[in-house]
Amino acid sequence: MNYEFRVVPHSMLPGKQVVECWRNGKFVAGIYPHQDGIRIVSKFMADVSKEIEPAHARGQWLPAALIKLGEKPAF
């Protein structure tokens, strides 16, 4: 699968940006600022899990979130 990320102005939050996630030329998710951190929205979100992965540049392990996106809308 071919994923592409685009940074664009947020349509509802003036002065903020959103990261759009496109898969094979189709918009599948958005990532934008939230008062408590970041928000990821997608009608394709199939599962969310927390992991720990290595940060190769620093030689340590860091928390990570894995967002699985299905081929069809989840609802």
Query: pTM (2 decimals)?
Result: 0.81
Structure confidence by residue, pLDDT tens digits, 15-73 = 889 999 999 999 999 999 889 999 999 999 999 999 988 877 677 888 899 999 999 99
Confidence class for position 14, pLDDT limits 50, 70, 90: confident
Largest distance between two CA atoms of the chain: 40
Q: For residue 35, tell me if it sits in a domain.
A: yes
51 inside domain: yes
The total domain count for the chain is: 1
**Is 21 contained in some domain?**
yes
Whether 74 is covered by a domain: the verdict is no
Asked if the structure places residue 34 within a domain, the reply is: yes
Q: Which domain holds residue 35?
A: 3-69
Is 64 inside a domain boundary? yes
Q: Distance between CA 27 and CA 75 in Å, rounded?
A: 16
